[in-house]
């Protein structure tokens, strides 16, 4: 049984019959903790030579002297860190990988479609791979006028982006990648 004044390590050592080996180590650890506690009481929280207890509650009278709140003004324009030029504006003119860029921003600076003409958009084409019964959603890769995308049947296809015509089909060997 662990006695209240004894550390749990020394109690475990004694219960296991290891007292002869570990007891001096446990006693040294207890002495070190006691010295550390005394040091906290003598030196205070910032290492100064104060006599107050480190863990004591702060003085209520000193607390009353402090203002209820303090307004800190915002930084002026010349105090702000200047922009580092990242990301470059041309980054958002291409969609060179999934979600747009290396940071996955999902943002495009292209302005051909905007709030005034978005309602005038019409569906140009639909592509059906015809090789699987599952549904597949993906972000295709578009290079110039070629759209590259996976199919539900685990093929990769090259589709003509302006009219949806399949240009080529490739079946990778091996198992498809999974997340």
Helical ranges in the chain per DSSP H: 8-15, 19-43, 60-65
Look up the domain containing 112 and give its range: 87-120
- pLDDT grade for 156, boundaries at 50, 70 and 90: very high
- Who has greater pLDDT, 156 or 32? 156
Nearest to 93 by CA among 107, 106, 111, 110: 110
pTM of this prediction exceeds 0.85? no
- pLDDT grade for 46, boundaries at 50, 70 and 90: low
Residues 16 and 50 in one domain: yes
Residues 109 and 141 in one domain: no
Residues 133 and 164 in one domain: yes
- Who has greater pLDDT, 19 or 65? 65
């Amino acid at each position: 049984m662990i006695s209240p004044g004894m550390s749990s390590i020394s109690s475990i050592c004694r219960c296991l019959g290891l007292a002869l080996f570990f007891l001096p180590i446990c006693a040294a650890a207890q002495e070190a903790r006691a010295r550390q506690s005394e040091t906290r009481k003598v030196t205070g929280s910032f290492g100064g030579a104060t006599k107050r207890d480190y863990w004591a509650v702060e003085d209520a009278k000193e607390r009353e002297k402090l203002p209820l709140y303090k307004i800190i003004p915002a930084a002026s324009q010349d105090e702000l860190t200047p922009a580092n030029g990242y990301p470059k504006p041309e980054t958002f003119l291409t969609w060179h990988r999934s979600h747009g860029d290396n940071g996955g921003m999902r943002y495009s600076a292209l302005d051909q479609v905007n709030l005034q003409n978005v309602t005038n958009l019409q569906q140009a084409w639909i592509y059906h791979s015809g090789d699987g019964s599952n549904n597949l959603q993906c972000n295709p890769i578009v290079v110039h006028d070629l759209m590259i995308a996976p199919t539900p049947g685990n093929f990769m296809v090259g589709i003509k982006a302006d009219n949806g015509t399949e240009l080529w089909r490739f079946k990778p060997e091996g198992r498809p990648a999974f997340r």
